[in-house]
């Protein structure tokens, strides 16, 4: 064991980290306290160079598409969470290897050393949590929570080392031990490891099982809330294009995305949660009348504007579900800013979000486009908490990477600050690119028209607010044929297209 101390340490560190992960996740589910693996992953994702981060995101999305098709991309956040747990377990194994190696060199270990090891593990995670989550959690809470969790881990690691080191000492002492004694010691070590493994497995199963149950309960509650939202939004009983003669081909995605299906992308491994009672929006900087607005102030004191909007993610690939359409309602950015008295030499809004996201929006752009809004409703109801509640911005013709949600501050300034993703070498303009997607070739819904057999083909086309004037379809290298376009819900939504292909047998 002496020469293999780091390997033993890595194995024991990993073994003990598995139940630690299960228990800390259970506490996270019960109390919403920070989950150490997510803290670690979120911190690393923010310090990685932009090119490496982009490569990782692209690799993950492409892998999900390869494994599960376009719809599997919606599971990217689950993949991130699994990566976070894997990273944490790997770090625990490395820490265990270092601990065992040092203890072998020192020649002893006790519970005080275990406490010190736990503190050394917890301290950087406390700092990382502060960097990632800011004031979201009390510093005293995080220090106490992380400290307690990792001190227990450190003491357990020290205790296991003492047991194994003591057994090895007995085994390697021929002058005081007979062969039979050494054999018994080896058996005892084997029994100890089996019992240790069984204990950690038991804790993991119990903690993980309860956590899974609580997570399932939360998902069911969210589903019920979304169902209730659906029942409440029956006031949207008609759409601007209800009488359009073009009917979507069977299998085409819904023209109006149900809220529960609307794509969601956010910085952290978990979405931000803001309670309305705790939220105030400061508008500061180069203004004559700084404001501190509640959501009620914004709702009640400014005219509401509604717009059917398609929003897409710049990381999405053609055909994925990282694009959705719903009705947005909010206050015009022009109206909101009119009351603060912006200085003539001001040029930008520096908008910050609860999750650390930030973006600069040019005042010239806002002044030239009254459609830009600070949105508080989707689908006639308050923004879902995991989609940016209480406030997010909408800027036409831009990908989601330029549109902060969970907004916590607006500063009017004359200095341009690169946005979060622009700092990581992403597009500075992020203008939506023209795309067209085939959603369906409805071979099970063939239409007989005289002697012809028509196969409905359909999908979406999207070009931001530049709109779509034509979609053409070509089959097997034949001539390009113009598809029928359904009138869009607005000039800022996708277009549903359909082409009935005259199929010929053979």
Say how far apart CA 4 and CA 119 lie, in whole Å: 25
What is the pLDDT at residue 59?
86
Mean pLDDT of the chain: 87
Please give the pLDDT value at position 107.
Answer: 75
453 forms beta bridges with 448, 503
Nearest to 374 by CA among 299, 462, 452: 299
What pLDDT does 217 receive?
A: 62
Confidence band of 193 (pLDDT split at 50, 70, 90): low
**3-class secondary-structure state, position 453:** strand
Answer yes or no: is pLDDT of 171 > 60: no
pLDDT of the residue at 197 = 65
- The whole-model pTM stands at 0.84
Task: Summarize pLDDT for 266-278 with one digit per residue, the tens.
Answer: 999 989 999 999 9
pLDDT value, residue 166: 62
Residue 315 pLDDT: 87
pLDDT at 196: 65
Residue 181: the pLDDT is: 47
Tens digit of each residue's pLDDT (9 = 90 or more) over 443-452: 999 898 877 8
pLDDT per residue as tens digits for the range 56-113: 888 888 887 777 665 656 678 888 899 999 999 999 999 999 998 888 888 777 888 8
Instruction: Choose the weakest-confidence range: 101-105, 225-229, 341-345, 463-467.
Output: 225-229
Higher pLDDT, 393 or 160: 393
Provide the residue ranges of all domains of the chain, joining segments of one domain with +: 5-217, 259-424, 435-503
pLDDT, average across residues 388-413: 97
pLDDT at position 231:
45
**Residues 1-43 pLDDT 10s:** 555 578 888 988 898 998 899 899 989 988 889 999 999 999 9
- Asked whether the predicted pLDDT for residue 184 surpasses 50, the reply is no
How many residues in total does the chain contain?
A: 506
- On the question of pLDDT at 342 being above 50, the answer is yes
Give SS3 for 222.
helix
CATH topology of domain 259-424: Sulfite Oxidase; Chain A, domain 2 (3.90.420)
Q: What is the end-to-end Cα distance of the chain in Å, rounded?
A: 71
* Other Cβ atoms closer than 10 A to 138: 11
What SS3 class is residue 489? coil
pLDDT band at 220 (very low <50, low <70, confident <90, very high): low
């Amino acid at each position: 064991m002496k020469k293999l101390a780091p390997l033993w340490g890595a194995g024991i560190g990993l073994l003990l980290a598995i139940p630690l992960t299960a228990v800390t996740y259970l506490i996270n589910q019960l109390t919403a306290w920070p989950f150490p693996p997510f803290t670690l992953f979120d911190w690393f994702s923010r310090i990685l160079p932009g090119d490496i981060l982009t490569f990782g995101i692209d690799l993950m999305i492409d892998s999900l598409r390869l494994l599960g098709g376009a719809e599997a991309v919606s599971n990217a956040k689950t993949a991130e969470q699994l990566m976070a747990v894997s990273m944490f377990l790997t770090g625990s194994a490395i820490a265990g290897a270092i601990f065992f190696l040092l203890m072998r060199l020192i020649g002893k270990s006790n519970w005080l050393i275990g406490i010190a090891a736990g503190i050394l593990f917890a301290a950087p995670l406390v700092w990382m949590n502060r960097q990632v989550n800011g004031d979201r959690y009390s510093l005293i809470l995080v220090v106490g929570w992380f400290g307690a969790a990792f001190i227990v881990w450190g003491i357990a690691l020290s205790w296991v080392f003492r047991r194994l080191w003591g057994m090895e000492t007995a085994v390697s002492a021929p002058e005081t031990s007979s062969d039979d004694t050494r054999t018994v010691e080896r058996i005892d070590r084997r029994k100890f490891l089996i019992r240790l493994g069984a204990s950690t497995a038991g804790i993991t199963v119990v903690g993980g099982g309860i956590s899974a149950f609580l997570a399932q309960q939360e998902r069911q509650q969210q589903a019920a809330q979304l169902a209730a939202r659906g029942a409440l939004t029956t006031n949207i009983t008609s759409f601007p294009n209800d009488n359009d003669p073009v009917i979507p081909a069977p299998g085409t995605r819904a023209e109006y995305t149900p809220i529960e299906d609307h794509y969601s992308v956010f910085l952290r491994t978990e979405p931000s949660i803001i309670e309305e009672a705790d939220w105030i929006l400061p508008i500061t900087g180069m203004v004559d009348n700084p404001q501190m607005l509640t959501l009620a102030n914004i709702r009640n004191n400014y005219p509401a504007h509604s717009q059917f909007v398609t929003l897409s993610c710049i990381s999405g690939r053609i055909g994925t579900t990282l694009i959705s359409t719903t009705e947005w309602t909010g206050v015009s950015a022009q109206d909101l800013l009119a009351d603060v008295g912006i200085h003539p030499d001001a040029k930008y809004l520096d908008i910050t979000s609860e999750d650390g996201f930030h973006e600069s929006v040019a005042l010239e752009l806002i002044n030239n486009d009254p459609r830009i809004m600070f949105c508080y409703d989707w689908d006639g109801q308050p923004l879902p908490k995991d989609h940016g509640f209480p406030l997010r911005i909408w800027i036409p013709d831009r990908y989601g990477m330029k549109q902060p949600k969970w907004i916590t501050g607006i500063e009017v300034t004359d200095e341009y600050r690169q946005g979060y993703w622009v700092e990581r070498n992403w597009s500075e303009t992020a203008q939506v690119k023209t795309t067209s997607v085939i959603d369906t070739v409805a071979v099970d819904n063939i239409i007989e028209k005289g002697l012809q057999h028509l196969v409905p083909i359909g999908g979406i086309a999207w070009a931001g607010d530049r709109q779509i004037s034509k979609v053409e379809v070509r089959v097997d290298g034949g001539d390009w044929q113009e598809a029928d376009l359904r009138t869009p819900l607005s000039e800022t939504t996708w277009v549903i297209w359909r082409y009935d292909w005259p199929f010929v047998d053979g």
